[in-house]
Structures are given as structure tokens and as C-alpha cells.
Chains A and B, each alone.
Chain A
Amino acid sequence: MRILVIAINTFKEAIRDKILYNLLFFALLMIGTSLLLATLTVGEQSKIIIDIGLASINIFGVLIAIFLGIGLISKEIEKRTIYNILSKPMPRYQFLIGKYIGLLLTIAVNTTIMGIGLYIVLAINELQWGHSILNVNPDIWKAIYLILIELMVVTAIALMFSTFSSSSSLSAIFTIALYIIGHLTEDIRLIGEKLQSVTLKGVINLIYYLLPNLDNFNVKGRVVYGIEISPIYLSLVTLYGLFYISIVLLLSGMIFQKRDFK
């Protein structure tokens, strides 16, 4: 119950934050612009729109997750609002989970709005060519769903950094770095395979498994080229995401529990 109270309050805080609307505005602008860009090509308009649209949803989603995520705890500490909250009858982990769920709620609403934006643009495109809006590729929703799972992972990571770093900018840099590396893990594995030394191979492998494999959540290319995304793939990737999130939240909780709020 208390988790829910914190979650709703966090959601309220986020929707009263101007940064959210700025990011959402630019995301929708980008998606809208894809319609203009598409007119430059012949025959492949919807592919261009889907490509730009999904990329925009992803990038702006990550920006929202990082910028609001790192502030989740560190802002409470910087603004000293945490003193009063933690003086109430609520274990610290509940506060942490509540904050996380609150931000997820915000991100889910945003991603849905961006998704609907993309859908509308695609529908307009179909209508322009005299086709039915039923022609819009339904797989975009699968891609958006996986983007959402990726954002959940990124938010958890941002939250973890914000539980022990007292500077927001440092947390932002760490999270962005991990996000970028998270998309390059496949390359790390390939490097490991090419190495001769067994120890080094082991180290590289360990790093590979510790880092989040965010490319798992990237099916944008497949949607654009109409390659099928099986339900089994969706479920497995979801499970991977949830597992990773649980571990990160557990770690965050342990760090947060031990912390002194001077």
C-alpha cells in the first residue's frame, strides 16, 4: 500500500516536471517529421517512417528514463526531502520500489503516447496512398513493447547509480555509458572468442554476462523488413529483462539500506 502511495506521488512529480513535456514534444516532432522525410523516397515510405519513428521512441524514452531515473533518489537526497519520508513507518526498500514503479508508470504512459503518435503518422501515410489503415504494420507494437522492457532495465540501472552517487551528473554519465556498452555486448563476446588466454577469455565472458545485453530488446530492423518476431522470443527476452531488473533492484536496495543520510 505504501509502495503505491510513493509510486503515485512519483508519477505526480514526473508529470509536473517540464523536462518530460519537452522530451515528449521533440519525440512527437521527430515522428511527425518522418512523414516529410518519407516523401523523399519512392515506394518505401512506411519503412522509413517506422525506422525513424521507432528510433525516436527509443532515444527519447531512454532520455526520459535516464534524466528522471537518476533524479529519483539523488534529487531526494540533494533536496533533503528524503529525511522526512524515511522518518515515516516505511522500510527503505519500499520507498525504493515505490519510486521505481512511479517512474515506470510515467515511462509506460509516455511510450504509449509516442507509440500512438507513430501509429497515427503511419495511418496518415497509408491514407495518403489510398490504402486502408489496416495496412499499418502491427509488429510496431511488439517493437515498442520491447523498447519499454529495455527502458525498465535502463531505469533500474539509473536508480541503482542514484542510490549511492550523490551527484546527478555522475549518475547520468554512468548510466549513459552502461546503455551504450549494453548495446555493444555482442562485440565484447566476439573479442572474447578471438582471445587465446583462457583467463582473459573467462574475464571477458564474465563481463559479457554482467552487462545488460540491451541489443536483445532491439527488433526495430526486423519490424522494418517484415521479419517475424515469435512470441517465444518476446517471452524469453521479457524474462531476461525482468531477471536483470530484479538483480539490479536487489543490489540498489542493499546499498540504500546501509546508507547514512547525513
Chain B
Amino acid sequence: MHPTVIKTENLTKVFKIGFRGRRVTALRNLNLEVKEGEIFGFLGPNGAGKTTTIKMLIGLIYPTNGKAWILGRELGDVEIKKRIGFLPEQPYFYDYLSSKEFLKFYGQLFGLERDELKERIDTLLTMVGLKDAADLQLRKFSKGMLQRIGIAQALINHPDLIILDEPMSGLDPIGRKEIRDLILRLKEEGKTIFFSTHIIPDVEMVCDRVGILMKGELVNVGKPTEIIDAKIKYIEIIVSDINQEILIHGKAMGFTICETGGQVSIKLPDENQLDFMLEMIRSGKGRIVSVVPQRETLEEFFLKKTGERIS
């Protein structure tokens, strides 16, 4: 049995908003356990309470109710933060510092010694691919570079627990893949990773377990395959040089067909029709550009889940 790294007990946060102090519950009775060595994905739409939870774990805001423990210590223990690495949602850092200065600053906050720190900075800059930007001020960084330097600072103290708030938001597909690879590598090193996201494929690909948060409540926890059943809505085939006869035939079968700039997109509502349609396209000497199964978007997935809960 692996030891518990994060544990929350009825963790609740109520914010007072505006002059009249209107009460808004951002998180309600969260009971969660994250085990050592796990990659835990915290999935939910915007405003579900993911960042609120993370901010409470990190000590930026105080719980209204409930308790939480990190690495066996109750919230509020400053010393435990020595073993935590944290990347905030959208990286906001001191942009007047260069990469090196930036990492040095955070390393010093953890009390790292000069030689150790120098070595660590070199390793991390290489690891996140920013070796060439070591002396560049952060204000000149692109979004992807900021995200990477953010991850580097989160790892400076050799943390046991790494908390990442939306680490993949705003990144291009290559950037997302790099972050996914990095998360898997950290797991191999025996670290526990807790990250939030609102993008389903992110959790499907890397997480051991997922928690789904909706409107401040944890609605489901389990393996991604068990709880994420985002259906394939339709399959989209994009073809070029297709002959008109096939298109007419396709329309007659009820497919949605859309022509743009020499390419044609054909949407098949049923997976079983795929082989038949591909065969037809080939026989008509059409060139297949891509075949992409379109899944439900997160919004649709959550709407469905919410609907299920209400009924």
C-alpha cells in the first residue's frame, strides 16, 4: 500500500464577493486521496474549483471548512513546502529577471547552496530546452518558453510532490506532448504529480487516476478508462480530387458533406460506415487527406454528466 501524499477531508471554500458579501461556494466537501508515485489528473471545466483547491493546498487561500494534509502534515505548515514543486496557472513571473537569475532566486528561497544551485540550474535549463535562453530576460519569452521555465522552477528543490495548475493550457500540440513526456519522466523518478486540466485527452494519456470536479463538487474518481466515456460523435474524412458521383451518393446516405477550397469534408455519424466510405473514395480515385474521429468536447461531456446526475 502506497502512502498518501495528499488527503483532504470535507475541504470547503466559500468566497464573499462584492460589497454586500454575497457568498459563493467555490468548493464543497472535497474528499480526495492521492497516493505516492501517482499521476493524478484533476479534471473539470473552467470555474469548477480546480484552482481554488490547488491554492488551498499551496497555502494561498484558507479553507472555510474541512482539513487537508500534504505529505502527512496538516495545511499551514510552511516547512512542508520544501518538498513541493508548484507551477501556477498561466505563468506569471518576474519578467525583469533572466532565466538563470530567475532559477537562482527560487533556488535561494529553498536554501540551496551556491555550487549545488549552479549545477541544478544547468541541469534544469537543459532538461526544459532553454539552455540557449539562459541569459534572456523573461519578458522576451514566448508563452511556451514561460511554461517551460515555470516547470524548471517547480523542480528546483527536487520535490516529492509536484502540483501543476493547467500545465498544458495555451500550448501547441508539440508543447503539450513535451509536457506529457516530462510528467511521465517525473513519475519514473518516483514523484507524485497532481495536475489540473480541462482537456480530456491530457488526462487520458498520462494519468493513473482522474478526479472530475464540477461546480465545486467531486463527482467521480477512478481510472481514466473507467470514468471518461466521451463518445465518438462522428468521423470526419477529408478528401481531395473526389468525383461528384460519390458525393451525391454520400449525400443520399445521409452524410454531411462540405466543400471548401478543393477539399471535401465528409462526416459519418456511424463508425461502421467508415470502411464502406473509404472503399468508395478509393474506387473513385479520390485522395484521402485525413480520417479523424471527433469526440465529444469537454463541455458536452460535462453537460451529459450533469444531466445524468440530475436525472
Contact = CB atoms under 8 A, between A and B. Distances in A.
Interface in A213-262: 258, 260-262
B92 A86 contact: no
Interface in B107-132: 108-111
Interface residues of A, number: 25
B55 interface: yes
A85 B86 CA distance: 10
Contacts, number: 75
Contact of A1 (B94, B111, B153): B111
B263 to A, nearest CB: 43
Given A81-B93, A262-B61, A89 B108 contact: no
Nearest to A258: B62
Contact of A262 (B15, B88, B97): B15
A88 B81 contact: yes
Given A5-B105, A5-B108, A262-B15, A87 B58 contact: yes
A87 B59 CA distance: 7
Contacts of A84: 86, 88, 92-93, 106, 150, 153
A5 B109 contact: yes
A88 B156 CA distance: 11
A195 to B, nearest CB: 35
A235 to B, nearest CB: 36
Nearest to B84: A87
A261 B55 contact: yes
B92 A88 contact: no
B60 A83 contact: yes
A65 to B, nearest CB: 20
A16 interface: yes
Nearest to B83: A89
B92 A79 contact: yes
Contacts of B60: 82-83, 86-87, 260-261
Contacts of A6: 109
B310 interface: no
Nearest to A86: B60
B92 A80 contact: yes
B82 interface: yes
Interface in A183-203: none
Contacts of A85: 109
Interface in A1-42: 1-2, 5-6, 9, 12-13, 16
A89 B109 contact: yes
Given A13-B94, A81-B92, A89 B86 contact: no
A261 B96 CA distance: 23
Nearest to A260: B61
Nearest to A84: B88
B174 interface: no
A223 to B, nearest CB: 38
Given A84-B86, A260-B60, A261-B55, A12 B81 contact: no
B257 to A, nearest CB: 47
A9 B84 CA distance: 22
A172 B105 CA distance: 29
Contacts of A261: 55, 60-61
B94 A81 contact: yes
A90 interface: yes
Given A5-B105, A84-B86, A89 B110 contact: yes
A260 B84 contact: no
Interface in A70-129: 79-91
A215 to B, nearest CB: 37
Given A80-B88, A81-B94, A86 B105 contact: no
B146 to A, nearest CB: 12
A89 B79 contact: yes
Given A82-B60, A84-B150, A90-B81, 15 more contacts: A1-B108, A2-B108, A2-B109, A5-B109, A6-B109, A80-B88, A81-B93, A84-B88, A84-B92, A84-B93, A87-B58, A88-B109, A88-B110, A90-B109, A260-B60
25 contacts: A2-B108, A2-B109, A5-B108, A6-B109, A13-B94, A16-B96, A79-B92, A80-B88, A81-B92, A82-B60, A83-B58, A84-B86, A84-B93, A85-B109, A87-B58, A87-B84, A87-B88, A88-B81, A88-B110, A89-B78, A89-B79, A89-B109, A89-B110, A260-B60, A260-B61
Leading 5 A-B pairs by shortest Cβ distance: A80-B92, A89-B81, A260-B61, A87-B86, A83-B88
